[in-house]
Structure 1
Amino acid sequence: MRQAKLNVGLLNELKSLKTSEQVEDFLEQHDLEWKHLGGRDTNENSVHMVKDPANALNERVTNAIDACLERAVHENKVDSASSPREAVTEVFGLSKAGYNDMSPHWVKDTADSNINVAIEENSKPNRPVIEISDQGIGQQPQDFEDTFLSLDRNTKLTKPYLIGKYGQGGSSTFAFCEYAIIISRHCDGGDVGWSIVRYNERTSGDEEYSLGVYEYCVLPNGDIPSIPESEVDDLSGSIVRLIEYDATNFKNSLSAGAGNLYTVLHRTMFGSIFPFMLEDRRVERFKGYNDKPKRRTVVGSRYRLDKPSKYVDKSRDFRRVDLGEYGALRIKYWVLNDRSAVEQFADPTEPIVFTLDGQRHHTETKRYFKDGTGFNFLKDRIIVEVNCEDLSHSGKRAFTSDRESMADSDQGRVIRRKVIEALAEDDQLDALNENYKHKAIRETSSEQEERAKDLLADLLQNPKEGDEEEAPAEGGDEEEEEPVYEGGDGEEDEGPEELHDYPTYVKIINKQTPIPAKQGRTVRVKIEVDADWKFEELERGEITLDLSDVDGLTYNRETTLEDGRKYIYAKVDENAEIGESGVITAVVEWEDGRFEDERDLEIVEPPKTTSTGGAGELQSPEITQVTENNNSLGWDETDVVEFHPDEGDTGRVYVSMFNENIEPVLEDIPTEDTARQRKSEYTGYMAYYEVMRETEAQEVDADIDETYVKQEQNRVAKVLMRQIVDGMTPEVM
């Protein structure tokens, strides 16, 4: 039998390969053949079972944990009848209370000595090498085809101490990398086995195939390549190197935020029962690493949320929620005082996390939470873990093998219903919802004031509807008639004839092509979509505007969807290059559909201005929102607005946010985001009303009846806020 004489130099070469070109060069230098993964000619669908590269990577980490537990059983350190949590407790000393009962040294040392996940740089920033190494049981070369290189052959079903029995398996990572290098040696010793997995499109041969196939390399005699035990003395366990892995959504450094592997792994291993080390070796790209790999311990989001945290306002643990024949659930929630921090622990759009043996197996959306509980003001700041370890065997059948969804079965429906009932009936959540609703109505922020100021500036500089419909520039010559957008027929202001629950199209209906965006100004993009206002307000879907193709444009604000119309405003940088052009794209999407519409946009010169503000323009004052707790003017609930033209360089407008006419209207606002948006709009329009009133009063130099002015201000405030809350366009006032 022919054997390749491989040595430790070759092992080091395998461990150093970083690009697909390097792997291909390596393969050309060795006499190797190829076998179909899993022994199947059609295996693509099995490999592609998992849709998310992060979830697939989680399967590799699961395999590494299981390898460590398997070694413990093999060495008689744990009872083979144990559950995964019991096994970790017996072998590694994890407290039943979890990591909170363990020292930081235990957590770090356990991770460091057992499992390491590393990221390595190559020529493609979005496609790094990801290497998973463990000190687990390892495999003999002759067992590779029944373990690493098998498909749908679950050898863990009779091993209750393993986590991976409910998953799809590490083979799902093959779908997201160009090559996978697998190296392993059994903990009892023996030769080191290795192989390389690739995808063969099968388009270059004589036969035609409709599907490609995943393959692994073997020696010409069909054996797995190996390195004699005598030539390697420093390898134990397994190494899997994923070459050019799709890391588009987690390519950033290991800092806080959603776009890095540290956060991704904490999400997928939400209630992890086994810590592991994450190492980023991309020292040249991230100078903050000071030429040393950055290493962080991954313990799961539950542990991080349970630690003393500046983010967590309140939490509560339901130790047992009975499901009858399906077993029981344990539910814990955390309400965060900072909404933006949610993404550090869970997907903000799907913050209800169902875990099994610590791993995320299913998520539910914030809409599921909002619709089921009515706690609208908590949906963007709550994280819930539904621990499913105490489900019965029948109950666990609710979960699918891809760890991405729950089956639409009786078990799944009972679980979902019981979870939402427990949360909806919780008195602490009810009180917190009222508290955050009150804050949303009463509190102000610099962001609200900035948005209001932008709106005020836009109204003062562009009194007509839309930047693209301004009066002719200074000089008196009328502009040539602009072409009407194709498909509008000059009647786009009438809106869609019929509105639906879900749209059948989206289009940008600005009249001018390309849409002119004035340097340093705000451009309004008019979007038409034949869906009713509930499409966004009830979170069926969303309408967005992609500005990424045009340098110098940034999102500014947007209106609600009303009568099939939505306006999205973009700020044009004052240093944007005149003549710069590109495509903007309106996108409407929901769970089952998506439409797009593109329009050309060009950066143009702003109207010429004089030192006093230009032709017909007023300089935009600063804006301050006044609350009961921030009330230097000594106002009461009957005061509305004041313009102080001599304050600062441009004046300042003070707008009351606790006026007796607007608070009752705000009580009907359904969500925190809506409250903030409506208050910004109200502040901007109220400031515009007052600036124009004061300007006109100064021009006529008339005696002012202060009592009448205050009455009129209150009337305008009440009508204006009601119009904004009802989704009407305040310009019609």
Structure 2
Amino acid sequence: MNNQDAMELCLALMWADSETAAIQLLKDRGFWDDPRYWRYYGDDELNWNRAGNQQGRADFALNEKLVNTIDTRLMLECMLAGVAPESPGAPHSIREAVNRFIEKSWSGTLKVSGGRVEDWPTDFRRQVADGISVFVTGPKHLKPCVNVADLGEGQTPEAFPHTLLSLGKNNKIKVNFVQGKFGQGSTGAIRFCGKERLQLIISRRHPKLLGNPAVSPSYPVHDTDSCWGFTIVRREGEGQKVRSPFLSYLAPLDVEGGGKERLGRVLRFHADELPIFPQGDNAYQRHVTHGTLVKLYEYNLKNVSNILRRDGLRPKIDLLLPEPALPMRFHECRDYQKTGQEQTETMSGLFARLNNNKNLEDVKPATISLTVHGHELFARIYAFKPGSSKTYRASEGVIFTINGQTQGYIKANFFARPKRVGLQRLAQDLLVVLDCSSLSAVEQDDMFMPSRDRLVEDNAFAMEIERKLESALHDHPGLRDLRNARAKMDMEEQLADNKPLEDVLRRVLKSSPNLARIFGQGLRLQNPFKPENVQKTEKPFEGKPHPTFFRFAGKEQGEVLARSAHFGSRVRLAFETDVEDEYFTRKIDRGEKVLARLLNGERQPIADYIGPNLVDGKGNVTFDLPEDVSVGDTVEVEFTVRDVVTGAEFANRAKLPILAAVEPHTGPKPKPKPKPGEPPGNEAEGSSGINFPEVFWIEQKAPTWPSHFSSLDDCLHILEEGDVVDGKYEPAYKFYLNADNKALKNELAFTKLPADAVKKQFEIGVVLLAMALIHDDNQTKGAAQKAGNGTDKEDADESTIEKRAALLARAVAPVIIPMIQSLGELADEAVDLSDLVGQAA
């Protein structure tokens, strides 16, 4: 194949937007059906065992391609600066590389604010982003072709087998400023291409790297190094007598002359430039002299609509690269209806996108500190206004990042763990980003899978981090305040309390002793939100940039704190200071802190603790007692704060006598006193019962409706907001009914009964069914625990009682009223219309 023929095939494959078209081009030239022309990917016939066993989601797999483009951009700039990437003079981190080679503001040391995309001006982000483009082509409403182009180092044709098409190579293992180190060649994305798993690769080496001394001496050298190289990857195995499928790529050169089987060389041609980049929303229009294009044919994105929409690809990448080392451009190049504005956007990551975002609640502290095994980890907390979170996340609740890239996540029902987190009301509107970059390479490997899309299951270190995060969020003052504010919002427009509904249910329960046993001792309701004892201040707190004191709350600086601690319980030390709340989490001149145990004249650092996360000059440090202490011992600890600018140091020493463990209250609850005029013995007995919930009707127009429901078919949302009383967790439920439920509206439109009576029937039926489900769940768990099969770990999956109750209510909503009206007499004459609770919130 001559130079012109090779270039025409390359361009034709680039423009082909379906597997069928690409395969036909290869068949027309005699390549597709001849196995001699196809080389094993990674020169390994068993490559699918590695290449096919990576990410479980298409967006995670594609994200690896994007990370590689950032790596190659930084590698290029390093070598153009005359620095070998593996040499001692190379950057020691990704941020340092960005600061030195992109920002070009290196002064010998990395400034705290250096190398962060979120701090760049918009114009500079846009300028740098032109070096990486992600664009989609093909027919709309079908699986698109996803193209990734970069102006990185590029590769020579001879280097393809050792770089772009390698598996298990350690090309970047000694380079400190890149992400890709697992030698997978970002092959995870191939699984999500079309049926034949086609992937096109076009690349040309940057001319200034040819013969450059900064390039590794092991890099191949050939007389065609100035050429563009290209190949196409496919999966083989169907219809062949092989035990496992495998990947191969087009490498037809030197095969005809009797070369080694499946060890040919990729096609190549001379050309000054190629249009591998888009221009605006037009694909393959911008010509470049070097770089790489990877085209993924018919890529299996979950949503095939416009990639710039809130449910499209670009917002997903924001979440997977919340703090990218470099920005990139996203282009929608398919035939959607064109507007006057180009279908392009700059992707700078979630952090940049959420800076000063109007969809966020003002929650303080916005960043919290956890110290686990001696590593300080920072978690950013994003609390969205009701209904806004769907623009930024799907089911993700806590995402774990390293160097700005997501490594895995925990689903948002993490926040709904009632005992350990207690943020059920906010679960749909929270996102926490935990930066794990400070972990060692071994700890990162223990915690995350090499595919970088999930955590290692049942890993003790990961479970300890999760436990610390649970505790920090449970005690977070800003989130507690927001939770209570949301509870008030749900009640503000409630026109009546639940007392009438209780009276109706009392009459129902009198006729059914079995039904009465479901309920606990009394039907009185819990307070909807616990009042916070907040001391009013005369003026807002104004923190100083550097502290002049940091001491135990209510004590003088240097005064020793003497207080008891209970064996087996966490210790919480309260502090006060005059420094600004961001002192320990800010980017510049961050305060230093050390918690240590004083034992036998030595300081033993305590490697695991939470805080202090300051709010208005107040914060707590929480930690577990050392494992070797016993009742009667005295534990002496010291918490020291040091200011890196002023040099001031504040040491705070505490002596903690260890008392016996707090025994949880296990006796029966005292019976409530009967109200005046109410005869005793009116309460339902049985410790296995449950208190009657608060019930609220929520209309779609209410601001909190999106926090409870996602569609008009939804009927019920349950929140469990209990508390620990006398060492024992006591559940308390709140039921939210959808006032605009589709089935209810249909019944109201055609019923001959008074609307209030029908609504009351619906309310009582749904509440009783859900309460029965909760009761059964409690009984089942109680029996399992008595049998020794219980677990202390709270439900963290999709099968929680709240989820099951919501699905049950949604399913029975269309039949609940006809069933009640057909089988019972609970109609207009049985229900006092004044009993209606909660017209709408």
- SS of 1:407's equivalent in the other structure is coil
Alignment partner, residue 485 of structure 2: 435
**Residue 743 (structure 2) pairs with residue 618 (structure 1):** no
Q: Quote how far apart the aligned CAs of 1:376 are.
A: 1.4
Alignment partner, residue 564 of structure 1: none
The C-alpha deviation readout for 1:445-482, integer Å capped at 9, x for no partner, is 9xxxxxxxxxxxxxxxxxxxxxxxxxxxxxxxxxxxxx
Q: Quote how far apart the aligned CAs of 1:127 are.
A: 1.2
Q: Quote how far apart the aligned CAs of 1:437 are.
A: 2.5
**Residue 94 (structure 2) pairs with residue 42 (structure 1):** no
The C-alpha deviation readout for 1:642-687, integer Å capped at 9, x for no partner, is 99xxxxxxxxx999x9xxxxxxx9xx99989999x99xx9xx99xx
Q: Which amino acid aligns with 1:165?
A: K
Aligned length in residues: 503
Alignment partner, residue 502 of structure 1: none
The C-alpha deviation readout for 1:150-209, integer Å capped at 9, x for no partner, is 123242221110022268542111111131110001112611111100111341x4xx22
The C-alpha deviation readout for 1:319-365, integer Å capped at 9, x for no partner, is 6422235x2211110111123x2122222x22211111111111012
Q: Percent identity?
A: 20
**Residue 324 (structure 2) pairs with residue 272 (structure 1):** yes
**Residue 389 (structure 2) pairs with residue 342 (structure 1):** yes
Equivalent-residue separation in structure 1 for 2:248 and 2:152 (angstroms): 25
- SS of 2:68's equivalent in the other structure is helix
Aligned equivalent of 2:202, options 180, 183, 203: 183
**Residue 224 (structure 2) pairs with residue 214 (structure 1):** no
Q: Evaluate the alpha carbon distance shift between residue 198 and residue 28 of structure 1 in structure 2; reply closer, same or farther with a 3 A threshold.
A: same
Contact 1:315–1:334 under 8 Å retained in 2: no
Alignment partner, residue 482 of structure 1: none
- SS of 2:425's equivalent in the other structure is coil
- SS of 1:379's equivalent in the other structure is helix
Q: Evaluate the alpha carbon distance shift between residue 39 and residue 162 of structure 1 in structure 2; reply closer, same or farther with a 3 A threshold.
A: same
Q: Quote how far apart the aligned CAs of 1:27 are.
A: 1.0
Contact 2:164–2:185 under 8 Å retained in 1: no
Alignment partner, residue 734 of structure 2: none
Q: Quote how far apart the aligned CAs of 1:618 are.
A: 2.0
Alignment partner, residue 361 of structure 1: 407
Equivalent-residue separation in structure 2 for 1:572 and 1:421 (angstroms): 41
Q: Quote how far apart the aligned CAs of 1:275 are.
A: 0.7
Alignment partner, residue 29 of structure 1: 28
**Residue 264 (structure 2) pairs with residue 228 (structure 1):** no
Equivalent-residue separation in structure 2 for 1:250 and 1:383 (angstroms): 22
The C-alpha deviation readout for 1:11-43, integer Å capped at 9, x for no partner, is 432321211122112212335400111111122
Q: Which amino acid aligns with 2:180?
A: G
Contact 1:399–1:406 under 8 Å retained in 2: yes
Q: Quote how far apart the aligned CAs of 1:388 are.
A: 1.3
The C-alpha deviation readout for 1:96-132, integer Å capped at 9, x for no partner, is 38344321111111112x100001123x733111110
Q: Quote how far apart the aligned CAs of 1:134 are.
A: 0.2
* Root-mean-square deviation over aligned CA pairs: 4.6
Q: Evaluate the alpha carbon distance shift between residue 275 and residue 315 of structure 1 in structure 2; reply closer, same or farther with a 3 A threshold.
A: farther
Equivalent-residue separation in structure 1 for 2:101 and 2:319 (angstroms): 25
Q: Quote how far apart the aligned CAs of 1:416 are.
A: 1.9
Q: Evaluate the alpha carbon distance shift between residue 444 and residue 266 of structure 1 in structure 2; reply closer, same or farther with a 3 A threshold.
A: farther
Alignment partner, residue 474 of structure 2: 424
Alignment partner, residue 65 of structure 1: 70
Q: Which amino acid aligns with 1:105?
A: D
The C-alpha deviation readout for 1:485-543, integer Å capped at 9, x for no partner, is xxxxxxxxx9xxxxxxxxxxxxxxxxxxxxxxxxxxxxxxxxxxxxxx99xx9xxxxxx
Q: Quote how far apart the aligned CAs of 1:440 are.
A: 3.0
Listed as ranges, the matches of 1:178-327 within 5 Å are 178-188=197-207, 190-203=226-239, 205=240, 208-221=241-254, 222-228=264-270, 234-247=288-301, 249-258=302-311, 260-282=312-334, 284=335, 286-289=336-339, 293-314=342-363, 316-318=365-367, 320-325=369-374, 327=375
Q: Evaluate the alpha carbon distance shift between residue 254 and residue 224 of structure 1 in structure 2; reply closer, same or farther with a 3 A threshold.
A: closer
Q: Which has the higher contact order (CA 8 A, sep 6+)?
A: 2
Contact 2:167–2:183 under 8 Å retained in 1: no
Q: Which moved further from structure 2: 72-81 or 134-143? A: 72-81
Listed as ranges, the matches of 1:595-674 within 5 Å are 617-618=751-752
The C-alpha deviation readout for 1:425-455, integer Å capped at 9, x for no partner, is 222112222222332344569xxxxxxxxxx
- SS of 1:246's equivalent in the other structure is coil
Q: Quote how far apart the aligned CAs of 1:230 are.
A: 5.9
Q: Which amino acid aligns with 1:302?
A: F
Alignment partner, residue 579 of structure 1: none
Equivalent-residue separation in structure 2 for 1:25 and 1:256 (angstroms): 33
Equivalent-residue separation in structure 2 for 1:696 and 1:346 (angstroms): 46
Equivalent-residue separation in structure 1 for 2:383 and 2:717 (angstroms): 27
Equivalent-residue separation in structure 2 for 1:367 and 1:69 (angstroms): 38
Q: Structure 1 stretches of 5 or more lacking a match?
A: 446-493, 495-532, 538-553, 562-566, 575-605, 608-612, 622-640, 644-652, 658-664, 698-708, 722-733
Equivalent-residue separation in structure 1 for 2:832 and 2:368 (angstroms): 57
Q: Quote how far apart the aligned CAs of 1:410 are.
A: 3.1
Q: Which amino acid aligns with 2:348?
A: V
TM-score by structure 1 length? Answer: 0.60
Contact 2:99–2:115 under 8 Å retained in 1: no
Q: Evaluate the alpha carbon distance shift between residue 22 and residue 330 of structure 1 in structure 2; reply closer, same or farther with a 3 A threshold.
A: same
Contact 2:321–2:404 under 8 Å retained in 1: yes
Listed as ranges, the matches of 1:389-408 within 5 Å are 389-397=437-445, 398-408=447-457
Alignment partner, residue 732 of structure 2: none
Q: Structure 2 stretches of 5 or more lacking a match?
A: 32-36, 84-88, 106-112, 211-225, 255-263, 275-286, 496-513, 515-688, 694-710, 719-736, 764-770, 776-800
Q: Evaluate the alpha carbon distance shift between residue 444 and residue 70 of structure 1 in structure 2; reply closer, same or farther with a 3 A threshold.
A: farther
Aligned equivalent of 1:411, options 461, 464, 468: 461
